[in-house]
Structure 1
Amino acid sequence: MSDPSALGTAGPIAEAGPDLAAGGEGPDTPRSLGSDAWHDLRRRPLFLISVALIAVLLVLAAFPQLFTSVDPTAGDLSRSRQAPSAQAWFGYDLLGRDVYARTIYGTRVSIIVGVLATTFTLVIGGVFGLLAGFYGGWVDNLVSRVTDVFFGLPFVLGAIVILSTFRESVGGDAVGITSLVVLTMAVLSWPVTMRIMRSAAIAARDQDYVRAARALGAGPARVIWQHMLPNCLAPVLVYATISLGSFIGAEATLSFLGIGLREPVVSWGVMISEARDYLRVAPFLLLFPAAFLAVTVLAFVMLGDAVREAFDPKGR
């Protein structure tokens, strides 16, 4: 005969369902910050729209041949500045090249520049911010003063000086010029990431889990890499989603000023720079690449705003 006390103990577990009995999450189980943010993001139309736009742009960048079979560098002067038509949806540029094909292929370069600039910015600023926040003292003072120096440099002026100085060293190599533009934007933009990471690191270094790791004999590298970094990434990643769109716009700005990317590189910034002298007679040369640029920047800004609000408990 069964023990009544045993039956009484088994009852609530069975009623709670198999998830709780197996150690899963029930409706009242508290979620982590990341899980809670993801749960909130999936219900935000702003997030869903921005993700859809970015997904389309990534497909354009990865597989441009799926959307056009025209060579973006092939020109015919007899078609110079012809208006949009059934043969060329976006018309032809000054050299008779298909603007639609160039706009599609320009997606790849613009997004690659934005992603690489964001990555380098996060790495440089993240490393300095973690070190300054963890060690404090003279390390924090030194890094903070160096950061203040870079903060005092206007972005456009600093980019003009750096690109004008080192452009001759890379010559006309497209990869070299692209790399120089990426590094220039990262060098001038990392202080913001450093300050965000430093603030997060200062808040994390006094937490109980960091003190416990130190008490157990963990070295500085282990504490920073395994304990502090995962808990300091959220605000930096939020900034990264917003800055990626800003870097794409910055590349177009530098190309428009004539100090960024140049031919034979195909990017939206290069196309806008080439079209500026023909705005009155052929406005479509500027309209289409500028529209793609604006939508891309807007998509990443919307994504960043949605992620920021999801990770901010006070905004819910």
Structure 2
Amino acid sequence: MSTLPTLMLLLLGVAAGGWVLRFAGQKATGNAPVFRDMPFAVAFGYILGAGLLAFSVWYYFQPTLTEAGTPNAGVVFFRWAVQFFIVATIAAFLFRALGRTVGTQFSKKMFRQMPLTASFGVLVVIVYAFTAIFAAWLAPHGQEAIFAKVNVLPGGNAATGGDPLHPLGTDQIGRDLLSRLIYGAQNTVGIAFVTTCLAFFLGGSLGFLAATLQGWLDQVLSRAVDVLMAIPSLIFALLLMTIASAWAGSERWLLTVYMILIIAVIDSTRVFRLARAVGLNIVVMDYIEAAKLRGEGMTYLIFKEILPNATAPLLAEFGLRFCFVFLTIASLSFLGVGIQPPLADWGTMVRDSAQFINFAAFSPLTAALPLLAAGAIALLTVGVNFVVDWMLHRSSGLKE
């Protein structure tokens, strides 16, 4: 039977199961509200979720080797994903429990109110920050160190082409992949953080200035921002980085500086819009008028009156903007115009090791090499977004 008819039969079976669940629940509970008011879509979702859970359990216990003796890459990768999810959940739970008992009164209260997803996000951010700061001590080798052995397979088993000195193997020119993965946190995350701070300084300052002064300055800045926002950011950044490559010449480190400035200017347009919108709502408040009557200057109004009252939305935007900048840098590096060698970054690692995916049928660990850098990018993005969602929930005044 082809795929489409099989899929249709499965959906019909799930739909029938949803109807049976709702009908049987109404009869068994005497038409209780939980089943009486249950929409069919909710019952369908329950059956679909139960079916996916049962399939996941069945698939997890499938053999990791096929009948021909080759690795079953799908089962191996699925087991790794499930095991990582379980370990991450336990780590987030223990981290939250630790935060509720250790620390200041403020931090303990914060951890008591923190959902498990936010706890996981905070833990991820701390781990990445620690790795980025202490990369020189954590990495077994330097990021630019080149060894005689090239294309060493991961695993550290000499019998299968590995090397104990290189647990994740080496790349095509002999650089240790574990060291470059660790240094990638320092370069990719560190540069993204600096770029985001610069974007917020530019966009936030100009946005508050436009909201405070208004008039012709507001119109000029707003129209300039409209023009920049009309161009797709990644395409615009790629175009400017191509031009910057010609300017940098043989000084490859200049290309990283140009990248920071280009991405900061492009992303500052989004920050400008938010800062201006928030600032316009604040400048009409009575305490702003009172400060003006006292003769306070522009610097005082922006940094002492407007900024403290705009902290919550700006902090939430900072987390989201950091993710976008982080992904933009990884994308530019993947395309070859981002962070330049010998600096290690995850985007370049994904590009350089992409061909190893073809070895999935023979060595799942080798095929996982490009997924390590891509997974590092995805994990930080998810973690930061968990924290941002929690911050938005807290700043909105909503209660559980």
Q: Does 1:62 align with 2:146?
A: no
What is the CA-CA distance between 1:73 and the residue it aligns to? Answer: 2.4
Contact 1:117 1:185 in 2 (8 A): yes
Runs of at least 4 residues off by over 3 Å: 35-42, 76-79, 172-175
SS across alignment from 1:166: helix
Aligned to 1:220: 298
Give the share of equivalent positions with the same residue, in percent: 23
Structure-to-structure mapping, 1:1-316, within 5 angstroms: 42-44=112-114, 45-85=116-156, 87=164, 88-281=166-359, 282-314=366-398
What is the CA-CA distance between 1:213 and the residue it aligns to? Answer: 0.9
What is the CA-CA distance between 1:149 and the residue it aligns to? Answer: 0.3
What is the CA-CA distance between 1:77 and the residue it aligns to? Answer: 4.8
The 1-side partners of 2:215 and 2:317 are apart by 26
SS across alignment from 1:279: helix
The 2-side partners of 1:315 and 1:259 are apart by 45
What is the CA-CA distance between 1:57 and the residue it aligns to? Answer: 0.9
1:216-249, Cα deviation, whole Å (9 max, x unpaired): 2223332222211221232112100122122111
| C-alpha RMSD of the superposition | 2.3
What is the CA-CA distance between 1:38 and the residue it aligns to? Answer: 9.8
Instruction: Tell me the matched-pair count.
Output: 282
> Greater relative contact order (Cα 8 A, min sep 6): structure 1 or 2?
1
SS across alignment from 2:113: coil
SS across alignment from 2:169: coil
**Residue 312 of structure 1 aligns to which amino acid in structure 2?**
S
The 2-side partners of 1:135 and 1:183 are apart by 26
Aligned to 1:11: none
The 1-side partners of 2:334 and 2:236 are apart by 16
**Residue 145 of structure 2 aligns to which amino acid in structure 1?**
A
The 2-side partners of 1:193 and 1:78 are apart by 47
The 2-side partners of 1:48 and 1:173 are apart by 42
What is the CA-CA distance between 1:254 and the residue it aligns to? Answer: 0.8
The 1-side partners of 2:399 and 2:233 are apart by 31
1:246-273, Cα deviation, whole Å (9 max, x unpaired): 2111111111112212221111112112
Consecutive unaligned residues of structure 2, counting only runs of 5 or more, are: 1-104, 158-163, 360-365
The 2-side partners of 1:244 and 1:237 are apart by 11
Contact 1:242 1:303 in 2 (8 A): no
Are residues 120 and 130 of structure 1, via their aligned partners in 2, closer, same or farther at CA, if it must alter by over 3 Å? same
